[in-house]
Structure 1
């Protein structure tokens, strides 16, 4: 299996998890393709009018995540137009946990690209927390 097909498999996993939580989910069929005219993220998830836009990254080991400027720009532009909350969704393969990092946690990495330090990934929202936040559910931690 190629890295690209493994990446698609992880995108489908995230889309499925969001669907199971009641979101309407669309995975962009041309994400990562050479089609650069349209600007849309890897996954768009909607729950009762609240829109989440996700650029998906998976890594085999715990290390900083690098994101091309073009990917950040398309995510930001789509989110602006759609009124979406933009995140970089990160999964360290083997852990099974998705971390959702807001764009303001990205750091300039030179050559116009961005980096997300491991600490920023680990401090990102877990998928369960994002779902709870979007749905307006409260966790026991909200009362402590």
Structure 2
């Protein structure tokens, strides 16, 4: 069985071959833990995506800790990166991409039912519609605190 890190690298390589620039955040180390990092940050033609990578041996509900969802939202609010969850079901299917907004709140986590979603080709085409956003479009500190509140 491959490690989760190998799947992160695999997805980064697939995106890179399609013209994206991709950075993978290391999962360990004291300095990394100080700041919220998604598994991958991918950029293409002005479109930015913050991606949390998940794998599953079969198509079933995936649960994400609130901290992972909060990290994606920080990247959206502060940097304008769209928050995504990339899922690889290990039965030979390709990657599927789900918007963080598709997550449902569970008792102590967020859940994702990996049905539907975008294919890698569909995700790749998102960059074609990208446009530059003025810095004045980003939220203020008070708005950021409100949006990051996981209580709703």
What's 1:141 paired with? none
TM-score where L is the length of structure 1: 0.82
Runs of 4+ in structure 1 over 4 Å off: 32-35
Question: Are 1:125 and 2:125 matched, yes or no?
Answer: no
| Number of equivalences | 128
**Stretch deviating more after TM superposition (38-47 or 94-103):** 94-103
Report how far residue 33 of structure 1 moved: 6.2
SS in 2 for 1:122: coil
Q: For 2:95 and 2:115, locate their aligned partners in 1 and report how far apart those are by CA, in whole Å.
A: 10
Structure 1 unaligned runs (5+)?
137-144
Structure 2 unaligned runs (5+)?
130-152
Question: Are 1:115 and 2:111 matched, yes or no?
Answer: yes
Q: For 2:78 and 2:91, locate their aligned partners in 1 and report how far apart those are by CA, in whole Å.
A: 35
What's 2:100 paired with? 103
What's 1:42 paired with? 39
Residues 109 and 8 from structure 1, CA distance in 2 versus in 1: closer, same or farther, beyond 3 angstroms?
same
